[in-house]
Structure 1
Amino acid sequence: EWLTISRIQDVEGGSIKFAGIFSDISERKKAEERIRNLAYFDVLTGLPNRRLFNDRLSMAINSAKRHHQHLAILFLDLDLFKRINDTLGHSVGDRVLEEMSNRLKICMRDADTVSRMGGDEFTILMSEVQEVEDAVRLARRIIESIREPFLIEDRELFITTSIGISVFPEDGDSPEVLVKNADIAMYRAKDLGRNSYQLYTPQMNAKSFERLAMENEMRKAIERGEFILNYQVKMNLDTGGIAGAEALVRWKHPDLGLVPPADFIPLAEDTGLIIPLGEWVLRAACQQNKAWQDRGLPPIRMAVNISPHQFNQADLVGRVRGILAETGLEPSFLELEVTESVLMEHMDIAAFMLNELRSLGVVTSIDDFGTGYSSLAYLKRIPIDALKIDASFMHEITTDEGDAEIVSAIIGLAHNLRLKVVAEGVETEEQIAFLRSHGCDEIQGYLVSRPVSAENFEQLFEQDLLFQPPGVRSRPAKRKK
């Protein structure tokens, strides 16, 4: 309550009496508390927000300076969280963030502060750290905790996190620098494969600048038309003729020359640039295939890799339909390849998406088969047309009994499910003989042809790929030991 006392005077100025008024200010106090919460706490999770975290970090730094102590910052980001929002909706994404905050609080010490910085980014302040290993142990606990499945609306979601760690005073002496360096270390963890942690090192700053520069260059490259497609042939093992082609993107930078895909594809995935780049690849590949057909060349299937980000776009089917209509390519001459890991993340959604694509008449296949889950059960649930056996199984297929048995089993399994089998990474005649004897349908690899330009690919239509004249067939490069 709020008490207001007023003195009542007579006409000559003398006091007669006092009047007191009691006011109920409960609602006012509640409103002030709500304003305070909005200013300092995250609405969704109830955790401290960026502003409160920075205030506490500033105080912790001042205390650590006075007492010559260490403190640590952990910067966390959920790996590929955007897929959940894009495919399952923001309500499910919000539930994941709420559960994430609960798990973080369980992992931490009472004296630590965890905050939500925004989106799917969280920070943790560890004060009075005795050694760096304290922060490392916390990072490991968090990774193990997040790895456990999230049960959201009767769905099991498998999520991972990447963590960067910076330490005061070695890695900075201000809130801005410590958080920035922990952020840089987190991105390094993502670059190295996600689901891990990294301690900040000064060398990461240089890599961060390189990454930013590469991202800027990539954005310009899409506008300037610096990306090109090469095509690798798929050979029919029965006839020796061309069964199809796979479109492979290359970056022809005006100053750096040919940039390897390993240097720009992961960055494109992380920054979201894979969406416009992937759409360009799909359109260019369809245009090229239609151009070959218009020139009277035998019609073949054109295979295009679909990235995880693309596959999880709600309008992927509409985009594919639009590109097919725009280019005039019949759907049956387009093959979309997706990896096992993409399919297994949300199997029900993947099955629905693949059914929609197949309803267009598009061919679908699993790329790099054998490197992921390879569950017999999911193969029956996922509507696909072909399996591509990963190249890693080809290296010792004729000398390693284990690899030979795995490949033989995959071919048998696929054929029992009425799926076509393509073997990647074929580099020797002995590998071809093994694959043919076990009924493999198609092969792809340097023995048949390296990825080549559209002009050079056209020449392959006129050749028997099994019996090319000397000097035409590309020999495999020697492997580094």
Structure 2
Amino acid sequence: MPTDGSLVTLAHRLFQIAPGFACILRGADHVFEFANDGFYDLVGQRPLIGKPVRVAFPHPELEELIRLLDQVYRTRRPYAGRAVQLLVRRGPDAPPEERFLDLSYLPIPGPDDDAAGILAQGYEVTELVRAQQALHASEQRLHLALEAAGEGVWDWNIADGRFSFSERGRDMLGYGPGDIGARLEDWVAITHPDDMQRLQDETMACVRGRVPTVLLEYRVRNRQGDWQWILARGAVVERSPEGRALRMMGTTVDISGELETLHRANFDTLTGLANRALFREQLEHEVELSRRNGRPLALFFIDLDRFKEINDLFGHDAGDALLCEAAERIRDCVRKSDMAARLSGDEFTVILTELDSATHASGVAQKILHALARPFDLDGKEVSISGSIGITLFPADAAGTGDLLRNADQAMYAAKKAGRNQFRFFTPAMQEDATRRLALLRELREALPKRQLQVVFQPIVELAGGRIVKAEALLRWQHPERGLLRPAAFMAQAEESGLISEIGHWVFSEAAAWARRWTEQTGATFQVSINRSPVEFAAHAQAPDWEALLRDLGLAWHSLSVDITEALLLKPSLAVENGLLQLRQSGIQVSIDGFGSGYSSLASVKKYDVDFLKIDQSFVREADTPGNARTIAETIVLMAHKLGLRVVAEGVETAQQRDWLRAAGCDYAQGYLFSEPLPPEGFSALLAAQGRA
């Protein structure tokens, strides 16, 4: 059996080799009986054994520790403290040094169950505490920096579900301190339902260590009840030794403004479809993807037939409403993986990806045509349009995006040229046709300066007396290689390019000059009529000052007449009304060309104060065959006279046609029976011969 002395010696040895510090204090004065090397390392080398604590450490900063020793000795209850702050002097004259200790005071029982002394032991944790303080200070600095940068800071204690959001973050969404709870589920509850699963999946991927960080854009409901886009960044900052995530921190920033700017940069402001820039970027991406996976794609060019006419007739607000509805119909016809875009005006495009065959593209095109053919309601007015669609395939038709765009445009033009409301797939022959059209447009731009355009005049005869009293000015192009071209061969290019206004003004000037000459030649007001394109009545078209030209020429009232199409009178339009009013104020009369072949009524004609009706030549041509053509023509004459209008019959080629028109009361007639269109000099000679007769 070991003696008491040997036990004490053994205990001293154990305390000496034990980690941390230890000392034994005896009696109510806490006299040092033992101190291990760890204790001397803490307080510095000095005489301690046999001295009371107050003598060994006569420093006021240790008063609280001594009070705790007194308490343990008196109550015989142990004391334990974590990270207890202590100011230690490592020498009598040394300055105090801050230390942090995890320590415990254990009462040593005496013979009568009283405390004989106290065992003080523990560990210095100064470095750990300072590291934690540095980490906390770093977190605080980061927090302040992020707050100053406008980012909200969040902290999720994964173990207990507590979730805190900084004041800046709450302000970002308009919430006060008590508006939302302190649990994660309270904040998840304000997430947009469509973003909920994505938020959960990407967050858990980070928690489980599959990705180092989470970076996520999603929507949350702000205090006003609106959905607000935010960008959240986060990472796991603390894990257990087993790798289990314990804490996650991150930041949140409001990106609503950035997304709005990005949306404006990539999406059409009117229809919400992708704009030209985003479309080009997506097309290049899809072409590259098609090269890698071998799955073909199709590109559609869609042009709305008659949109310009609707826009001019009803105004831009109605036109915009039609574009928005058309865009929605097109979008509904394609998959979410496909892209619909608005390029400009009434031109749309669709990218169909991963096609199994061209049959799929045909089905989508037909679906779009059917959707566009349904009537549109424009503020209570029902109108109908159609679409022309050009389709090209990659890689079958093209090697890159530039070729695709060109091919689709050419195929669309072919669909429009074939009668509209249909689709066409690109063929190599279309490239040749497009090349010819571009060359023709380039040559047309030079035609007027090079004096290749000319005006010919066809007589208009007064049926009652058989004399030439009027003429219609007709445009011709003496092409250097293709010979004499009628307007049908080049008018579409003139209208699309905007050259129509310049050409139209030149034709008017020529007609006005010859009207003056023939007035002088005949001794009576000689009227010349010209055709005016509907494009020249567009709201944005620059109106020519024809009144000044007529005034400078000294022309009599009603020396000129303008022929317009029935389509302009289909629906009321401020641009058309202003254009017709300006003509009448300039002393120019108005006639409806090809009346009876369109949709206008005599009531709408009278509303616009029209002077003449030109009966469409189809009624004159078919008058000699069984049918209703003659009856319709005679009815038009009768009703026009009742409304105070005069009637001109076009395309008269036989004496029989002239005779029944005269019998029906028709006022004027023109056609090859009387004369083909003549150059001005030939027309002058015809008038001279009439005068001599």
User: 1:404, CA displacement in angstroms?
Assistant: 1.6
Partners of 1:289 and 1:450 lie apart in 2 by: 18
Distance 1:184 1:339, change over 3 A: same
Q: Do the aligned residues in 2 keep the contact of 1:350 with 1:382 (CA within 8 Å)? A: no
Q: Deviations over 1:331-366 (max 9, x none)?
A: 411111001112215456534532442233321110
User: Is 1:293 paired with 2:519?
Assistant: yes
User: Is 1:69 paired with 2:285?
Assistant: no
User: Is 1:378 paired with 2:604?
Assistant: yes
Which residue type is aligned with residue 392 of structure 1?
S
Q: Deviations over 1:439-475 (max 9, x none)?
A: 111110001000001111112224459x99xxxxxxx
Q: Do the aligned residues in 1 keep the contact of 2:314 with 2:571 (CA within 8 Å)? A: no
User: Is 1:204 paired with 2:426?
Assistant: no
User: Is 1:220 paired with 2:446?
Assistant: yes
User: 1:69, CA displacement in angstroms?
Assistant: 3.0
Q: Report the counterpart of residue 272 of structure 1 in structure 2.
A: 498
User: Is 1:256 paired with 2:482?
Assistant: yes
Q: Report the counterpart of residue 473 of structure 1 in structure 2.
A: none
Distance 1:103 1:352, change over 3 A: same
User: Is 1:431 paired with 2:657?
Assistant: yes
Distance 1:315 1:164, change over 3 A: closer
Q: Which segment is superposed worse, 125-134 or 343-352? A: 343-352
Q: Do the aligned residues in 2 keep the contact of 1:61 with 1:173 (CA within 8 Å)? A: no
User: Is 1:241 paired with 2:467?
Assistant: yes
Partners of 1:85 and 1:397 lie apart in 2 by: 37
Distance 1:54 1:254, change over 3 A: closer
Distance 1:93 1:326, change over 3 A: farther
Q: Report the counterpart of residue 186 of structure 1 in structure 2.
A: 412
Distance 1:216 1:136, change over 3 A: same
Pick the aligned partner of 1:329 from 555, 563, 567: 555
User: 1:314, CA displacement in angstroms?
Assistant: 5.6
Q: Which segment is superposed worse, 288-297 or 168-177? A: 288-297
Partners of 1:314 and 1:121 lie apart in 2 by: 19
SS of 1:204's partner is helix
Listed as ranges, the matches of 1:75-224 within 5 Å are: 75-79=301-305, 81-82=307-308, 90-153=316-379, 156=382, 158-224=384-450
Across the aligned residues of Structure 1 and Structure 2, the Cα RMSD in angstroms comes to: 2.9
Q: Report the counterpart of residue 366 of structure 1 in structure 2.
A: 592
Q: Do the aligned residues in 1 keep the contact of 2:531 with 2:564 (CA within 8 Å)? A: yes
User: 1:417, CA displacement in angstroms?
Assistant: 1.8
User: 1:328, CA displacement in angstroms?
Assistant: 2.8
Q: Which segment is superposed worse, 240-249 or 263-272? A: 263-272
SS of 2:477's partner is strand
Q: Do the aligned residues in 1 keep the contact of 2:475 with 2:486 (CA within 8 Å)? A: no
Distance 1:396 1:121, change over 3 A: closer
**TM-score w.r.t. length of structure 2:** 0.61
Q: Which runs of 5+ in 1 are unaligned?
A: 1-9, 469-481
Q: Do the aligned residues in 1 keep the contact of 2:315 with 2:573 (CA within 8 Å)? A: no
Q: Report the counterpart of residue 3 of structure 1 in structure 2.
A: none
User: 1:204, CA displacement in angstroms?
Assistant: 0.7
Q: Do the aligned residues in 2 keep the contact of 1:286 with 1:334 (CA within 8 Å)? A: yes
Q: Which segment is superposed worse, 244-253 or 352-361? A: 352-361
Partners of 1:323 and 1:338 lie apart in 2 by: 20
Which residue type is aligned with residue 95 of structure 1?
A
Which residue type is aligned with residue 184 of structure 1?
Q
Q: Do the aligned residues in 2 keep the contact of 1:421 with 1:442 (CA within 8 Å)? A: yes
Partners of 1:61 and 1:111 lie apart in 2 by: 14
Pick the aligned partner of 2:269 from 39, 43, 51: 43
Comparing both chains, which one has the higher relative contact order based on Cα–Cα distances under 8 Å and sequence gaps of 6 or more?
1
Q: Deviations over 1:382-409 (max 9, x none)?
A: 3211111111222231222322222122
Partners of 2:361 and 2:652 lie apart in 1 by: 46
Partners of 2:619 and 2:378 lie apart in 1 by: 37
User: 1:368, CA displacement in angstroms?
Assistant: 0.8
SS of 2:389's partner is strand
Q: Do the aligned residues in 2 keep the contact of 1:184 with 1:200 (CA within 8 Å)? A: yes
Partners of 1:126 and 1:314 lie apart in 2 by: 35
Which residue type is aligned with residue 399 of structure 1?
T
Pick the aligned partner of 2:630 from 404, 423, 427: 404
SS of 1:224's partner is coil
Partners of 2:382 and 2:546 lie apart in 1 by: 29
Distance 1:130 1:376, change over 3 A: farther
Q: Which segment is superposed worse, 413-422 or 315-324? A: 315-324
Which residue type is aligned with residue 642 of structure 2?
N
Which residue type is aligned with residue 434 of structure 2?
S
SS of 2:398's partner is coil
Q: Do the aligned residues in 2 keep the contact of 1:250 with 1:259 (CA within 8 Å)? A: yes
Which residue type is aligned with residue 33 of structure 1?
L
**TM-score w.r.t. length of structure 1:** 0.86
User: 1:311, CA displacement in angstroms?
Assistant: 2.2
Q: Do the aligned residues in 2 keep the contact of 1:157 with 1:346 (CA within 8 Å)? A: no
Partners of 1:92 and 1:399 lie apart in 2 by: 44
SS of 2:368's partner is helix
User: Is 1:421 paired with 2:647?
Assistant: yes
Q: Do the aligned residues in 2 keep the contact of 1:331 with 1:362 (CA within 8 Å)? A: yes
SS of 2:674's partner is coil
Bigger Rg, structure 1 or 2: 2
SS of 1:358's partner is helix
How many pairs does the alignment contain?
A: 456
Partners of 2:658 and 2:432 lie apart in 1 by: 46
User: 1:81, CA displacement in angstroms?
Assistant: 4.5
SS of 1:129's partner is coil
Pick the aligned partner of 2:617 from 376, 387, 391: 391
Q: Deviations over 1:96-115 (max 9, x none)?
A: 33233222112323332101
User: 1:41, CA displacement in angstroms?
Assistant: 2.2
Q: Report the counterpart of residue 14 of structure 2 in structure 1.
A: none
The percent of aligned pairs where both chains have the same amino acid is: 37
Q: Which segment is superposed worse, 208-217 or 30-39? A: 30-39
Q: Do the aligned residues in 2 keep the contact of 1:398 with 1:434 (CA within 8 Å)? A: no
User: 1:86, CA displacement in angstroms?
Assistant: 6.3
Partners of 2:495 and 2:386 lie apart in 1 by: 16
User: 1:268, CA displacement in angstroms?
Assistant: 1.2
Q: Deviations over 1:310-335 (max 9, x none)?
A: 12256666533233234332341111
Q: Report the counterpart of residue 202 of structure 2 in structure 1.
A: none
SS of 1:303's partner is strand
Q: Which segment is superposed worse, 15-24 or 200-209? A: 15-24
User: 1:85, CA displacement in angstroms?
Assistant: 6.1
Which residue type is aligned with residue 329 of structure 1?
L
Q: Which runs of 5+ in 2 are unaligned?
A: 1-97, 99-126, 152-171, 173-252
Partners of 1:339 and 1:423 lie apart in 2 by: 15
Q: Report the counterpart of residue 681 of structure 2 in structure 1.
A: 455
User: 1:374, CA displacement in angstroms?
Assistant: 4.0
Listed as ranges, the matches of 1:18-29 within 5 Å are: 18=137, 19=140, 20-21=143-144, 22-23=146-147, 24-25=150-151, 29=255
Partners of 1:402 and 1:71 lie apart in 2 by: 52
User: 1:258, CA displacement in angstroms?
Assistant: 1.6
SS of 2:484's partner is strand
Q: Deviations over 1:192-218 (max 9, x none)?
A: 444433221111111111111110100
